[in-house]
Amino acid sequence: MWEASRVSIAQDGSFAASAKIPVFRSDRVVPRTRLFETLDRALADSDRATSVVLVCAPAGAGKTTFLADWAHRTRAQPGRPAIAWATVDEQDNERPALQAKLVQAFRGTEHPRVREICEQIANPTPGQPFPLASSLAELDEPVCLVLDDAHLLHDPVVLSDLEVFLRTQPDLVQVVVCGRFEPPLAFQKLRLDGRTLDVTFDDLAFTPEEAKALLAEHDVELDSDNLSVLMERTEGWAAGLRLAGMSLAEHPDPASLLENFTGCRRAVADYLMEQVLDGQSEEIRQFLVKTSVPATFSAALAEELTGRADAHAIIDVLEHRNFLISRIETSPTLFRYHPLLRSYLRAEISLLGREAGAELEHLTARWYARLGDALPALEHGIAADAASHVESVLSDAGLALVLDGHAETVGRLLADAPRSIRDRPISRLVRVAAHLREENPIVAGSILSSFDDHGADDESAFRTTLLADTLRLQLAVHTGDLGYARARPVAADGVWSGDPHLDAFAALQRGLGHLHLGRLGPAEYNLERARTHAREIESPRIEAQTSTALGIVALCRGLLDDALSLAASGHSKAAASGRSKAAASGHSKAAAASRSKASDGDLSVSVDDQPADNRWAPLLEAFCHYLRNDTERAFELAGAAHASSPSTVEDNAVAAQLFGLDTAPNRRAAVSALHAATTSGRAAPRPPGLIAVALPSIEFAYLQIGETTWARELVTSASTVLGQCGDVALLESVLHLYANQLERARVALRPVLEGDLPCAAATNVVTAWLVEAELARRRFHDARVHDALGEALLLAEPERVLRPFHYMPSSSRELLSASRGRFGSRGSFADRVWASLPKTAVATTEKLTRRELQLLAELPTWRTAEEIAADLSVSVNTVKTHLRGIYRKLGVTTRRDAVTAARTHGLL
């Protein structure tokens, strides 16, 4: 229960008494420790620099509550200053009344000497100076005077007396002046002298943790998401949080209540009416209602909306009186109302009539359109149902808004717009662009399928058709249905509009289309053009996408240095885009130019830290590191990218499993997990080169544990996705190699080596030459082995490609070691390759002979000894003799164990 002597409800919703410190519930659980410590430091006995503390904040900010809690806390601690409390009211604008109240406040302290001095002060004589300051000079212990509701003082004589007291106050007397706004006293001189501490609304605003404690007083506990919504709506305003706590108590659906917790809610509206708007003239109320239309407004826009030439002066008064209005230091200076107050004022617009409200929205829309601020121009144009205005804004800047990260907001606004706006051709196309940006291709495709390219008028027909064509291409790439992309004539790459935003978008989508079709030359041409336009329009998002796509082109060509550089550029531009949008969308008071939820009539900016359309950047960088055998860094990047975009979860999971094989404690289990990841779901459409670069690694992993069925399935699926290309031929050759079908392996590999069948991933040609070296080793063509290894080193050295050499069996690695010093200028790189290879100790004490190695290669075929003898043109007894030698040297007793041991030691 509340306990206080002669306590009345103050105007800011707190409790106060004329001479005694207000006493609040003893079970309060919201300690404002950070504020207490600030005040304690300012008024510390050892530091007399601060003599006046100004606590100025709007109604309901919790000023009196904070000071009363601090005063009781101070009074309970020995050696702290005595507290004299005086609560001002309107009657104190007479000299005797205020003087008597101050004397009464000092008498109410627990400081005996202060009481004694105050008893000696005679009743003040009207018209005579106030003797309290000189009398208190006799104090030998500190005293702090709290002057609450000081904003009610306006009488010049009273203010003059108080100003004299502040200037001449004794060293051991400090004053806390508390009010909704700063009374007209000479505080600037004190500030210049460093003798004041200002406590503002920002200081008093509750933090999330303090808000949780306050809500707990009402037995309310919110999860982090709902608490964030409440903090956004209230901005830490104590009255708003208290009213929310009262409303939420025992409410069955907190999320629903918070969604509708606006200034229109009865309890909030009543408080705003009684404590904030009460006493305002009709002219000021009209000013407030009309200027609440935009989320932020300048003095010039306020003049436009209200027709008042003195708008700037009115704003100054509102600011001075702390009227829940905030200043945004931009150029020009902008202002905004507290979200709860603004939502209440916007509801009041309906009282002006429908036409008047629409005209205010239209005025605001035209104002922002003239400034080139398209998002609010669109929002208010839709609110005004101004179809021609909205069409103009969308034609000029609709695509730019989507490309700059406002897709979610633009899509929501247009979806909720009247049909007269929603059905316009440009509106439908911008909605399609927004849905694709938000990775919602089903809705985008539905809208686009019914779109008629000839629905636009003559002036905009070309640009509309170009945009529609580009969106169809984007949808085709997004869904992996590349039939439309293949059917597009090459001449379309030379069609441009002259609009840098549209041309940047068209070039980007054309480049991505060619990239997904494996056409690297046209892809690079269009992507470079898109990047040039992106720099012209200062769009880091598009530049990030183009850099990443160009990095994939470089990876496909085997240019790892370029790919890494472009991936880093993509990361940098994506981060710059995220920072700039996050700054614009922050809802703290320091970033007050932002817009709150649409339910309050505002806009919110949707920004991803890593844009979904730049989702390949982490994987691109990871594969570059993997090809250079930095598997630890590759694994780290793939793991970080795993949740970057829902559309790449499958690919990132596969990559993470692949990159972690080298350090897996159980390789068979790790490869099984890799196989599960490759077959667990449908991966997103990807450029062929980004698929192909991983395929040899996956196939070798399957074959090394004897899973030939998985390897065959991989070849089949790769052929389906990539078509007939060098990468698939390489996979087929490796499959034949592991089955010891050497001639079939050579036939499959030959067009790759001769360049007749290009690879989608150029680094796979290195692997192809290493396979050729292994084929030559199996046929005992040592010279051919050396030549093939030399070709592999020649291709791998410029970009320091190491990973393909790790696929080689240990017997081939021995040949690489044996040839060291014979590679000429590539010898240094050959040494680097050798140093990177894992050194697996061979369990045999004796090396297998050439005949034994030849027979060992036949064992995985599971043909009988008689069949093998016939092929090798030897007797069955000779085959059996060699088999016994193989078993003895490998330390096994069965044919199956011999195959397993041979694969473990790289002999197969």
Q: Supply the pLDDT for residue 123.
A: 58
pTM attached to this predicted model: 0.74
Q: Which candidate, 620, 640, 631, places its Cα nearest to that of 559? A: 620
Q: Does the pLDDT at position 841 exceed 50?
A: no
Amino acid at 613: D
Tens-digit pLDDT profile for residues 728-775: 999 999 999 988 899 999 999 999 999 999 999 999 999 999 999 989
Residues 6+ apart with CB under 8 A from 440: none
Percent of the chain with pLDDT over 90: 44
Is 387 inside a domain boundary?
A: no
Most confident range, picked from 212-226, 448-462, 564-578, 885-899: 212-226
Q: What is the domain-level CATH number for residue 294? A: 1.10.10
| Residue spans of alpha helices (H) in 292-332 | 299-306, 311-320
Given a contact cutoff of 8 angstroms between Cβ atoms, the answer to whether 101 and 88 are in contact is: yes
Q: Supply the pLDDT for residue 561.
A: 96
Dihedral angle of Cα 363, 368, 371, 372, to the nearest 10 degrees: -130
Q: Which of 323-327, 583-587, 862-866, 879-883 has the lowest mean pLDDT?
A: 583-587
Q: Supply the pLDDT for residue 128.
A: 57
Q: Per DSSP, what are the bridge partners of residue 52?
A: 175, 196
Q: Supply the pLDDT for residue 74.
A: 83
> Do 277 and 246 share a structural domain?
no
Residues 6+ apart with CB under 8 A from 714: 678, 695, 698, 699, 702, 731
Q: Could you check whether the bond before residue 685 is cis, i.e. omega within 30 degrees of 0?
A: no
Given a contact cutoff of 8 angstroms between Cβ atoms, the answer to whether 856 and 848 are in contact is: yes
Q: What is the mean pLDDT of residues 174-197?
A: 86
Q: Please state, in angstroms and rounded to a whole number, the distance separating the CA atoms of residues 561 and 742.
A: 36
Q: Which candidate, 790, 778, 841, places its Cα nearest to that of 816? A: 790
Residues 6+ apart with CB under 8 A from 717: none
Tens-digit pLDDT profile for residues 496-552: 888 899 999 999 999 999 999 999 999 999 999 999 999 999 888 899 999 999 999
Q: What is the mean pLDDT of residues 794-822?
A: 81
Q: Please state, in angstroms and rounded to a whole number, the distance separating the CA atoms of residues 602 and 183.
A: 34
Total domains, the chain: 5
SS (H, E, C) 595-661: CCCHHHCCCCCCCCCCCHHHCCHHHHHHHHHHHCCCHHHHHHHHHHHCCCCHHHHHHHHHHHHHHCH
Q: Does the pLDDT at position 462 exceed 90?
A: no
SS (H, E, C) 221-245: CCCHHHHHHHHHHHCCCHHHHHHHH
> Do 103 and 42 share a structural domain?
yes
- 3-state SS assignment for residue 140: coil
Residue 62 to residues 44, 56, 150: CA-CA distances in angstroms? 23, 10, 15
Which of 204, 221, 247 represents a domain boundary (last residue)?
A: 204
Tens-digit pLDDT profile for residues 656-688: 889 999 888 898 899 999 999 888 766 568 899
Q: What is the mean pLDDT of residues 36-53?
A: 76
Task: Provide the token pair at 22.
Answer: 């207000």
> Do 327 and 216 share a structural domain?
no
Q: What is the domain-level CATH number for residue 69? A: 3.40.50.300
Is 63 inside a domain boundary?
A: yes
Q: What is the domain-level CATH number for residue 806? A: 1.25.40.10
> Do 317 and 282 share a structural domain?
yes
Is 830 inside a domain boundary?
A: yes
Angle between helix 461-479 and 425-437 (nearest 10) = 30
Q: How many CB atoms lie within 10 A of CB 79?
A: 7
Most confident range, picked from 259-273, 459-473, 553-567, 664-678: 553-567
Q: What is the mean pLDDT of residues 314-339?
A: 91
> Do 233 and 175 share a structural domain?
no
Amino acid at 676: A
Burial class (CB in 10 A: 0-12, 13-18, 19+), 799: buried
Phi, psi of 16 (to 5 degrees): -145, 160
Q: Does the pLDDT at position 449 exceed 70?
A: yes
Q: Supply the pLDDT for residue 408.
A: 93
More confident residue, 31 or 666: 666
> Do 240 and 138 share a structural domain?
no
pLDDT class of 583 with cuts at 50, 70, 90: very low
> Do 803 and 671 share a structural domain?
yes
| Chain mean pLDDT for the chain | 83
> Do 798 and 681 share a structural domain?
yes
Is 649 inside a domain boundary?
A: yes
Cα dihedral 182, 188, 189, 191 sign: positive
pLDDT class of 577 with cuts at 50, 70, 90: low
> Do 665 and 649 share a structural domain?
yes
pLDDT class of 807 with cuts at 50, 70, 90: confident
> Do 106 and 43 share a structural domain?
yes
> Do 792 and 660 share a structural domain?
yes
Task: Provide the token pair at 777.
Answer: 């080793």
Q: Please state, in angstroms and rounded to a whole number, the distance separating the CA atoms of residues 51 and 42.
A: 8
Q: Per DSSP, what are the bridge partners of residue 134?
A: none
Which of 332, 352, 372 represents a domain boundary (last residue)?
A: 352
pLDDT class of 417 with cuts at 50, 70, 90: very high
Q: How many CB atoms lie within 10 A of CB 763?
A: 26
Q: What is the mean pLDDT of residues 270-282?
A: 87
Which of 261, 287, 306 represents a domain boundary (last residue)?
A: 261
Is 95 inside a domain boundary?
A: yes
> Do 252 and 144 share a structural domain?
no
Q: What is the mean pLDDT of residues 713-726?
A: 92
Q: Supply the pLDDT for residue 190.
A: 79
Residues 6+ apart with CB under 8 A from 70: 32, 35, 36, 39
Q: Which of 123-137, 222-236, 275-289, 431-445 has the lowest mean pLDDT?
A: 123-137
Phi, psi of 541 (to 5 degrees): -65, -50
CA angle (882 as vertex; 879, 884 as ends), nearest 5 = 110
Q: How far is CA 42 from the centre of its chain?
A: 39
Is 384 inside a domain boundary?
A: no
Expressed as residue numbers, the domain containing 297 is 273-352
Is 877 inside a domain boundary?
A: yes
